[in-house]
Amino acid sequence: MHELSLRFHLERKTGGLSRIIERGTKGIETIVRFTILNTFPTFIEFLLTAIIFWRGYGFSYLAVTAVTVWLYIWFTVKASDWRISIRRTMNNSDTDANTKAIDSLLNFETVKYFGNEEMEAKRFDQSMARYEKAATSVWTSLGWLNFGQGVIFGLGTTVMLVISGLSVLNGHQTVGDFVFINAMLLQLSVPLNFIGFVYREIRQGLTDIEEMFDLLEVKPEVVDAPDAKELVIGKGAISFKNVHFAYDPARPILKGISFEVPAGKTVAVVGPSGAGKSTLSRLLYRFYDVQSGTITIDNQDLRTVTQKSLRKVIGMVPQDTVLFNDTIAYNIRYGRPSASEGEVTTAAEIAQISDFIRHLPEGFETKVGERGLKLSGGEKQRVAIARTVLKAPPVLILDEATSALDTTTEREIQAALDIVSKNRTTLVIAHRLSTVIGADEIIVLKSGAIAERGTHADLLAQNGLYASMWNRQREATQAEEHLKQVRENDDLGVVNRLAPAN
């Protein structure tokens, strides 16, 4: 839902959706104007025909014409309304099939890991079968609509011509009258058909765009206040005061969080998985608004400033970096589109990715593939760091910024991040405690509340949750290093065993 609102916020900002709506509305307006223009002469024509039949040939001719026209319109409206539900089923099946196709293509690796290609193909095929059935029904129902209209008009005409034919036989009418009545009826059928067509098209068009109108009804989670001001950034001091937040009212995530990140300092948030660490960064970026309490930057409540001005001053290295399907240079320059080539190269050097890029045959012009799939997790993260370097924001959020890196690379990246975060207000969200030893303050979050806080040394001295997490991680690292050494020795053993004896 959040992603959806974000996408539509973007759409609205770029005017994409409004342009489509505008075009659609203009199209409908044109059709309605067209219809009115055509309905009016049809109405006059019907009136004239009715008067001529009534005055010239008697009430029965008028009655049959009126009943035919009334039946024709009634049937067209009813049948078109009936077709709408079929059309809606077709649209829903189309959307369903597209969603399934995109979902399985995006998750192609998972599909392959589990060898579920056939299952995915079957799921798509089922949706397509529903679509095919509904699409066939749409056209079959159109056939029935046209058939019904033809039958009604044909019956009316037949009755009139029978009456007129009998009158000719009786000598009350001439053959000229018979031909005249036939011609009048035929003339009436053309505009009637046209009105039927237009009514059908309008109803169909409105059904096709009703999902778009539904989407317009979706309210974005965060809206700028009508009197929202630009954030005036000074040194970038952050303050969380008694913040309560829940994605779902039934499940509170943050329960009265208060802490400060003084200007230019680094505060780290650690804690068990699901404690609400990343939620803090989402709130700071204002993807959501707090339910109570306040978050301020340089004493300005985030709810009183525009989202655009807020996001301009914050740089984010997220947990999962997603790249655009373009070149490495494009993805780095995304941090500041106006950056020069030299600045892009320097940012890559700071993020320790320039060596890797230089060894690529196409260097900075290498395409990274959809969502950056041609790069490893660590490489993607370094691109994310490089573009944040380029953005040079006064406030920095590092959300598990070194999570995808091995211990050696982590150390190198950590050095780079230390340079980037120097004199910048930085909020680090981390799992690996080794990356936050140097933080000015470490907040230990547990089940949405602050369990402990202090510097690394203070927290170790407290011998509480942080100390136990630290000991566990140290043991894990030692075990990992031991295992690595054993493997290296074993590899050597294999090499020695395979070496030819002299």
Ligand X SMILES: Nc1ncnc2c1ncn2[C@@H]1O[C@H](COP(=O)(O)OP(=O)(O)OP(=O)(O)O)[C@@H](O)[C@H]1O
- Smallest separation (angstroms) from ligand X to the CB of 248: 6
Which among 60-68, 191-199, 247-255, 468-476 is the span making contact with ligand X, rule CB under 6 A?
Answer: 247-255
Of 327, 310, 487, the closest CA to residue 397 belongs to: 310
Scanning 141-149, 161-169, 192-200, 269-277 for contacts with ligand X by CB under 6 A, the matching segment is 269-277
CA distance 316 to 387: 9
Q: Which long-range contacts (CB under 8 A, 24 or more apart) does 329-332 make?
A: 329/364, 329/365, 331/368, 331/372, 331/383, 331/387, 332/364, 332/383, 332/386, 332/387, 332/390
Our CB check for ligand X shows the closer of 3 and 355 to be 3
Beta-carbon neighbour count of residue 481 at 10 Å?
Answer: 11
Rounded least distance, CB 467 to ligand X, Å: 19
Report in angstroms how near the CB of residue 399 gets to ligand X at its nearest: 8
Check binding of 156 to ligand X (CB under 6 A).
no
Q: Counting contacts by CB under 6 A, is residue 247 touching ligand X?
A: yes
String of DSSP letters for 442-473 = EEEEETTEEEEEE-HHHHHHHTSHHHHHHHHH
Applying CB under 6 A, which part among 55-63, 97-105, 230-238, 270-278 lies near ligand X?
A: 270-278
CA 336 to each of CA 65, 179, 315, 352: distance values in angstroms, whole numbers, following the listed order: 72, 79, 11, 19
State CA 413 to chain mean position distance. Answer: 32
The distance of closest approach from Cβ of residue 403 to ligand X in the complex, given in angstroms and rounded to an integer, is: 9
Q: Does 273 bind ligand X (CB under 6 A)?
A: yes
Q: How far is the CB of 276 from ligand X (least distance, A)?
A: 4
Task: Give the span between the Cα atoms of 471 and 477, in whole angstroms.
Answer: 10
- Token duo for residue 127: 């949706």
Residue 205: CB minimum distance to ligand X, A: 35
| Residue 276 sits in the site that holds ligand X (CB under 6 A) | yes
Strand order in the sheet with 425-429: 314-317, 395-399, 425-429, 266-270, 441-446, 449-454
Smallest separation, CB 323 to ligand X (Å) = 20
If one asks whether residue 278 binds ligand X (CB under 6 A), the answer comes out as yes
Q: Identify the helix (H) or strand (E) that includes residue 22.
A: helix 16-52
List the one residue from 97, 160, 231, 253 that touches ligand X (CB under 6 A). 253
39-47, 159-167, 276-284, 361-369 -> range binding ligand X (CB under 6 A): 276-284
Binding mask 391-430 for ligand X (x = CB under 6 A): ----------------------------------------
**Nearest-5° Cα angle at 463, 461 to 464:** 130
Q: Any contact of residue 321 with ligand X (CB under 6 A)?
A: no
Q: Which of residues 331-350 bind ligand X (CB under 6 A)?
A: none
DSSP classification of residue 339? -
Number of residues that bind ligand X (CB under 6 A): 12
> 433 CB contacts (<8 Å, ≥6 apart)?
270, 456, 466, 469, 470, 473
275 part of the interface to ligand X, by CB under 6 A: yes
Nearest CB to ligand X, comparing residues 69 and 459: 459
Distance CA 466, CA 437 (A): 12
Q: Is 286 in the site for ligand X (CB under 6 A)?
A: no
Q: Give the residue from 310, 494, 455 showing the smallest Cα distance to 444.
A: 455
Comparison of 248 and 355: residue with beta carbon closer to ligand X: 248
Check binding of 2 to ligand X (CB under 6 A). Answer: yes
Using a 10 angstrom Cβ sphere, with 0-12 exposed, 13-18 middle and 19 or more buried, the burial of residue 500 is exposed
Near ligand X in 103-132, by CB under 6 A: none
Residue closer to ligand X by CB (options 180, 247) is: 247
Interface pick for ligand X out of 265, 277, 333, 456 (rule CB under 6 A): 277
CA–CA distance from 220 to each of 12, 224, 288, 362 (Å)? 11, 10, 10, 41
Residues 49-88 that bind ligand X (CB under 6 A): none
Give the residues lining the site for ligand X (CB under 6 A).
2, 247-248, 253, 273-279, 431
